[in-house]
Structure 1
Amino acid sequence: MNPLLRLLVLALVLPAAACSTLSAQQRDRAIAIAAAARAPAVDCGQPDRCAEPSPLRALAGEAFAASAAAPDGAPHHYALLLDEGGDALLARVNLIRSATRRIDLQTYIFDTDDSARLVLDELLAAARRGVRVRLLIDQLSAIADLQILAALSGAHQNLELRIYNPTFNLAKPNYLHYAASVVCCFRRFNQRMHNKLLVVDEAVGIAGGRNYQDDYYDWDAQFKFRDRDVLVAGPEVRTMERNFAAYWDDRRSVPVERLNDVARRLLADGVPAMPPARPAHPRRVEALSQAASDPETVRTQLVARAMPVAAVEYLADLPDKHHGDSALEDGVGAAGLAGLLAGAQEEVLLQTPYLVLSDHALEIFRGLRGREAPPQVRVSTNSLAATDNPIVYALTYKYKRRHVRELGFDLFEYKPFPADPPVDPALGGWWPGQAPADAPDPEVARSELPGGSLGGSRGSAGEAQVAAKLRTETRPSLLRTSAPANRPLPVTGAGPRMGLHAKSMVIDRRIAVVGTHNFDPRSETYNTEAAVVIDDPAFARALAASIEGDIAPGNSWVVAPRAKPPVLSGLNYSVGKVLERSPILDLWPWRYATNYEFQPGPECPRPLPRRDPEFHRCYAPVGDFPEVSLGPKSILTRMLTAFGAGLVPIL
């Protein structure tokens, strides 16, 4: 940016930011107000803090006992894939209620909608019965309600809330503050804590892609994330706990009462009462709450699917990644995933919502491709219709030729209305394509809805989709601005759509990875990330089956070279390749690859790989942006594709 323009922006914005600062005396007084209000009394005098018995929590006892009895000292664990949003929320609430000593929760986003408020109320209840609760939220998407934040600052002696890397020492910056941050301190503003972790009693942990917002638990009426967590019970949870402690103790983690806007609220009004919960769908919240206290439901819905595994490792960045005076070694933390990927021999199955590869990731995949016998690489990612971030998808679109031709990816783009989504209506989830007015009542058994009985597998192909053709736009989340460019785009179907958010990988059907890392520049350079790595063939096969379900024909389109390029194939390929490398100009309208839909029939009884000679006979092209209802807005994607390459380092 021009230095003169930078000074002008700072001159306009920084005075407003300065006005929000407090003196040391004011801040000390706000801290004292919060501390004095914290209730010391607990509701339970029992040694176990009146924890609810939980068969899910009991898995940890079995794992630790097996580890102690192992003659070779090898650790034993249980691991559970949390594929459905309802199961993921059920597990969290059940584990919080089972806590006897401590709960540590670390997240990137914490909203105030139904699912987030349910979890928050459970954390408060745990603190009041004597459990120590520590809640750490990245500032970019922390709770945006100052009354709730001020109330939490003085809620109870057993509950602490800290905000990671607060901009201008504020809990709730406005757009002017964000603008000033980008101008004055771009790198620090972009250094975000992307980790998501819940640890209970250092015995059971949940890690993966889900934040605390209805989108992640199938409860949002317009958009839902197809996401994935993994629950781990056993000794490696102690590593998770130590990693959380490193963030909690880091200088970037600031107690909420020290932030200027929260402190001002405390100075003006004292510690306010927690606003009452007003769920948009109270019956759904009540049904989930009751299920979480039903041991039989927890046993059949969750525990029955847990798998004994041995080799579990939690690879997580440390906050040192954000300190210029402390460089991390290669392979430390989440960077260790690169070594696992480079060691692939036969197959890599990768799922990422944002396929914008970093230079390091490109180097690894090129190395795999250059082998005499390269491993097969299958990648599941979002289509433009499914993504929550069209700007990032524009870069995926720009490099389709490189992904398909140069790197040899078998690429699959997720549909916004998948035929067989991992959604459980019995736990309140709304089926993609089901109009909100027709949303299932949580008390209705799943056997009456597409997908079978409670806890069953995915539903049948077309039953959940509706015939109506309505344009729907998803609501903006805490991360989404009012700018149309960064909202999910209108699509041709009605009701809530689904978009990938899962970040997972299976290597050689033996190593399973579930976490937050996208192998993109932001994950590598700016964000801190984390992943659970499980070296176990049975668990790896289960994760592979989950990802393969997402790339099945009813759930994803196949990306493949065009059968007949619209212009001379050699010219089309050469021009596209040259312009692909340009960060300034890339307006070539004919892409090397496009999306295809499987057409089953007597001559095409089963899906084919894109390299099969009969592929184009069994697959019909559906265009570059299927199911997107853009009209003139299609220009937006092409312009971003043309000029967006310069954004790669921060996407």
Structure 2
Amino acid sequence: MSSWRLWGLRFFASAAWVAATIVMSGCATPLPNAPRETSRALPPASGSPLVALAESSGIPSGQSGFWPIPQGAYALDARLTLLREATHSLDLQYYLLGNDGVGRAVMRELRNAAMRGVRVRLLLDDLYTQDIESDLLALQTFANVEIRLFNPFTFGRQSASGRLLNFVSDFRRLNHRMHNKTFIADGALAVVGGRNLADEYFLRSKDANFLDMDVLVGGQLVPELSSIFDRYWNSDQVFPLHAVDAAPGAASDLQRAFAHRVEDPALNPVISAPEEPDAMGRPPLSRALRQGRQPFVPARAIAVADLPSKADTRDHHPAPAFEDTVTHRYIDTLRRAQSEIVIFSPYFVPGHKGVEYLREARDRGVEVRVVTNAMSTSDEPIVNVGYQRYREQLLRMGVQLYELSATRSATDPALMQALGGSRGRLHAKMAFVDRRIVMVGSMNVDLRSAYSNTEIGVGIDSPELAKLILDAYRADNFSGVYQVQLKPDGGGVQWSGHDPQGEQVLVDEPEVSVIQRFKLWLQFLFVPEDLL
């Protein structure tokens, strides 16, 4: 969902929560009164190689086709291929576009596509645009490019301190963010899942990387995803970039500086397509396109997204009903489980209602397994303090809990090979019901996803797809994780893991010192659970 930078904003805002809401509630700055042109997704383009690929891949009429992408290199190859091969339209909606090799590669290919005549619509949440603002201002000067921002900062945009002041003075509004992640090319192929557009989501960071999941989509679901994009693009919560920040110079100067940043070999390591088949034995999308056929699993599916107005706190924009949220539909699907629920969520804070829904499932005899990050592994360790509040209660109900650990993952050769020796963190957001229904998207199982951020997800009815993904994550033989269990005497929890040397059992939070736990506990006193 986020990185340590958002944690800093959360903690500062939370510590000042009472002051910000009581003393400064009248200081919110007005949003720009900017006219925006309504636009709609373009239909699939004749002559597009992406349209031809989707049409030749054997997706039955009225259904959608899916291919899971658990490996970072293949997920990046898919996006770069869509960018390079699009002939008509590119619609990208993201929470985070990084100021790094992946982020610059995406911006470079968006520029190149626009120069080929492709219409580019780029919609970003405004929380992380400070470091790339100059690039965005330059990119929008190219013909065929339009950039819009969701729930933008209205002053202090050029500095962290200025944005922080804006955040605190307008906390009630700016606490709500667009967490959606959608990538649509030529109205024919799309990518939906948990990955943002930055190095660590594609295993290209030297320090820490995320284990994540996307699905490549063709067929019936793509127009639905385009309609969701249009709903956001034309909403009252979205503003043109030029309405909140003016370009500091002539377009030609901006474009030259942009070209240097996105093309300089020193700043932009070469990104090569994978040579080997993926974990399921299939080629990367770039090669599948050359071969003229992409493997898809056909299935019936739906796409759901929160209304953009979920993030609007203005009095004349009442919040949507909870029944209209992605979280509600996620819970409704889980409640239909007959035998098994498997949940992957990097940030897992179920709240009292979530615990009761899982209790209902256990009372029906449904097996429930949850995989999340250990405190030491999470990029948001304070979230784990909220998760700990429910851990023993869940275990006593019979819920099985697993925590991804840097130490445990180091004992798994496959994980270490995937991570390239860097620190690994779970970021995939998915759930499986009865090994038949697959839910994947941007939503975490926490109150922030339920009530503060907007989210998107797809629900897919496919035992075949469920098996492919669960096998890729070795869900029937978890490795690289600790299983959290009640101690034999029932007094607290312990962590157990298996490796070639035998079983390892720990009675204290793995890889976290007493001092670290105490600091997090103190911080947690100032953070309402719905801000985690």
Q: TM-score, normalised by structure 1?
A: 0.68
Q: Which amino acid aligns with 1:217?
A: F
Partner of 2:495: 595
| Aligned match for 2:432, one of 495, 502, 506 | 506
Partner of 1:392: 383
Assess, with a 3 A threshold, how the Cα gap between structure 1 residues 90 and 344 changes in structure 2: closer, same or farther: same
| CA drift at 1:650 | 1.1
SS in 1 for 2:338: coil
Say if 2:73 and 2:203, in contact at 8 Å, map to a contact too.
yes
Say how many residue pairs are matched. 495
Once residues 186 and 459 of structure 2 are traced to their aligned partners in structure 1, the CA distance between those partners, rounded to angstroms, is 21
Assess, with a 3 A threshold, how the Cα gap between structure 1 residues 414 and 296 changes in structure 2: closer, same or farther: closer
| CA drift at 1:63 | 5.8
Assess, with a 3 A threshold, how the Cα gap between structure 1 residues 329 and 128 changes in structure 2: closer, same or farther: same
Once residues 3 and 357 of structure 1 are traced to their aligned partners in structure 2, the CA distance between those partners, rounded to angstroms, is 22
The answer to whether the aligner puts 1:560 opposite 2:485 as a matched pair is yes
Partner of 2:365: 374
Partner of 1:626: 510
Partner of 2:200: 215
Say if 1:377 and 1:409, in contact at 8 Å, map to a contact too.
yes
Partner of 2:138: 151
Once residues 141 and 92 of structure 1 are traced to their aligned partners in structure 2, the CA distance between those partners, rounded to angstroms, is 20
Say if 2:78 and 2:286, in contact at 8 Å, map to a contact too.
no
Once residues 505 and 4 of structure 1 are traced to their aligned partners in structure 2, the CA distance between those partners, rounded to angstroms, is 36
Name structure 1 gaps, 5 residues minimum. 32-46, 68-74, 435-495, 574-591, 602-617
The answer to whether the aligner puts 1:332 opposite 2:324 as a matched pair is yes
SS in 2 for 1:328: coil
List aligned pairs for 1:321-470, cutoff 5 A.
321-323=310-312, 325-334=317-326, 335-369=328-362, 371=363, 373-406=364-397, 408-416=398-406, 418=409, 419-420=411-412, 431=420, 434=421
Bigger radius of gyration among the two: 1
Say if 1:221 and 1:430, in contact at 8 Å, map to a contact too.
no
Say if 1:209 and 1:228, in contact at 8 Å, map to a contact too.
yes
List aligned pairs for 1:236-385, cutoff 5 A.
236-259=221-244, 262-263=245-246, 265-266=248-249, 271=254, 273=256, 274-276=258-260, 277=262, 278-279=264-265, 284-285=270-271, 298-299=287-288, 306-323=295-312, 325-334=317-326, 335-369=328-362, 371=363, 373-385=364-376
Say if 2:156 and 2:162, in contact at 8 Å, map to a contact too.
no
| CA drift at 1:625 | 2.7
| CA drift at 1:203 | 1.4
Once residues 210 and 172 of structure 1 are traced to their aligned partners in structure 2, the CA distance between those partners, rounded to angstroms, is 26
Assess, with a 3 A threshold, how the Cα gap between structure 1 residues 224 and 313 changes in structure 2: closer, same or farther: same
Say if 1:63 and 1:234, in contact at 8 Å, map to a contact too.
no
Partner of 1:195: 180
Assess, with a 3 A threshold, how the Cα gap between structure 1 residues 387 and 302 changes in structure 2: closer, same or farther: farther
After superposition, give the CA deviation of every residue in 1:121-167 in whole Å (9 maximum; x if it has no partner).
Answer: 1111111101101000000022523321221121x221111111112
Assess, with a 3 A threshold, how the Cα gap between structure 1 residues 113 and 157 changes in structure 2: closer, same or farther: same
After superposition, give the CA deviation of every residue in 1:184-223 in whole Å (9 maximum; x if it has no partner).
Answer: 4322111110000001122111111000110000000001
The range that moved more, 276-285 or 496-505, is: 276-285
> Identity rate of aligned residues, in percent?
29
Once residues 130 and 204 of structure 1 are traced to their aligned partners in structure 2, the CA distance between those partners, rounded to angstroms, is 19
After superposition, give the CA deviation of every residue in 1:161-181 in whole Å (9 maximum; x if it has no partner).
Answer: 111111225654533432443
| CA drift at 1:297 | 5.9
Assess, with a 3 A threshold, how the Cα gap between structure 1 residues 647 and 304 changes in structure 2: closer, same or farther: farther
Partner of 1:636: 519
Say if 1:9 and 1:180, in contact at 8 Å, map to a contact too.
no
Q: Which has the higher contact order (CA 8 A, sep 6+)?
A: 2
| Aligned match for 1:174, one of 147, 160, 172 | 160
Once residues 79 and 126 of structure 1 are traced to their aligned partners in structure 2, the CA distance between those partners, rounded to angstroms, is 25
Partner of 2:41: none
Once residues 522 and 322 of structure 1 are traced to their aligned partners in structure 2, the CA distance between those partners, rounded to angstroms, is 11
Say if 1:216 and 1:224, in contact at 8 Å, map to a contact too.
yes
List aligned pairs for 1:515-554, cutoff 5 A.
515-549=441-475, 552-554=477-479
Q: Which amino acid aligns with 1:648?
A: E
Assess, with a 3 A threshold, how the Cα gap between structure 1 residues 93 and 634 changes in structure 2: closer, same or farther: same
Assess, with a 3 A threshold, how the Cα gap between structure 1 residues 169 and 62 changes in structure 2: closer, same or farther: farther
| Aligned match for 1:185, one of 170, 175, 180 | 170
SS in 2 for 1:66: coil
SS in 2 for 1:109: coil
Q: Which amino acid aligns with 1:328?
A: P
SS in 1 for 2:466: helix
Name structure 2 gaps, 5 residues minimum. 1-14, 37-44, 278-282
Say if 2:59 and 2:65, in contact at 8 Å, map to a contact too.
no
| CA drift at 1:271 | 4.4
After superposition, give the CA deviation of every residue in 1:214-259 in whole Å (9 maximum; x if it has no partner).
Answer: 0000000001000111111101110000000011111221111111
